Homo-oligomer: A and B are copies of this chain.
Amino acid sequence: MALRILTDEEIQTVSMKLAVDCMADAFRQHAAGNLVAPGRLTSDVNIGQLVFTVGATTAPHRVVGFRCYDFQQLSSPRRAELTVLLDADDGHLLGIVTGPLLGALRTGAIGGVAIDHLARRDTETLGLIGAGYQARTQLAAALAVRSFNTVRVFSRDQQKRQQFTDQMRSQFDCDIQEVETARHAAEEADVLICATTSSHPVIEARWLKPGVHINTIGPKFKGSHEVGLDVAGLATRLVTDSSAQLEADGETLLLHGMPQLDCVEDLSTIVASQGGGTGDHRLATDTTLFISLGLAGTEVFLAKRLMDSMEDGLQ
């Protein structure tokens, strides 16, 4: 059989709904012990810094694999990102994904699963801070799991913000507004997504509506964080997708040494316990914060699903 290679051209055709469903499956498998997801590895070679997230699934397929990207090239438009799948039984190569879209799709879809299981059902306003490729997939994922009357987008870069808003309007049938301040994006939001690379907090706790659900995608470290301790302190529930990564990040984390760290729940457990449930269990006044760390193995899980479904499509 010829080597299966998926490029961004093919990944682009995947619906966010399918990706969110696949990630919900991945969390259930993780809770059942069928998805092995250790913390990531990094190797610094001066002119590059390769990051590897290694993972394995034992169900429904026995696959070992990894995603790799060069941290120094994150802003390069030509950069590759490799996701490699190996058969766990005889080690043969199942396939390779070559572009960065899969990682963004998976991170978006994980954000969608978090919103689906943590946010209130009767959402009206979505706040989005950030206008990069992570913001794009987070928005798509939020719209795949909830309805919103209004989306308010803020980014410091006015030109980028406008371009992003125009593009999103052409893709989604929804009132997508460009707003002038982060506060304006945050204060009416039922769901608020922070998808920036900012090293300083982009929101303040006092702006937030009671009962808001927040996804934080960007930096979470002591020296660099897009969401501060005020918001973590306000949250009645903190949830992460990767407890292993939370542990691996250790002392570098903003939450290190804080009482909140001991209360962080695992999204896998929540998804597994809710079945197909969608946030019904939450209290109206719950303020929830999802700390997106990137559960390892989810890229492998998603890539395998996509390769199989594309193969089925060809038959």
Contacts and interface: CB of A to CB of B under 8 A. Distances in A.
Interface of A: 3, 5, 36, 38, 41, 43-48, 50, 52, 54-56, 58, 62, 64, 66, 68, 70, 72-73, 76-80, 82, 84, 86-88, 90-93, 96, 98, 297
A260 B92 CA distance: 41
Copies in the complex: 2
Contact of A68 (B5, B56, B66): B66
Nearest to A58: B47
Contacts of A62: 47
A143 B73 CA distance: 43
A124 B45 CA distance: 42
A64 B38 contact: no
Given A36-B47, A45-B54, A50-B54, 14 more contacts: A38-B45, A41-B52, A43-B52, A43-B54, A45-B297, A47-B58, A47-B62, A48-B86, A50-B66, A70-B91, A73-B86, A73-B90, A79-B91, A80-B91
A48 B72 CA distance: 28
A271 B43 CA distance: 26
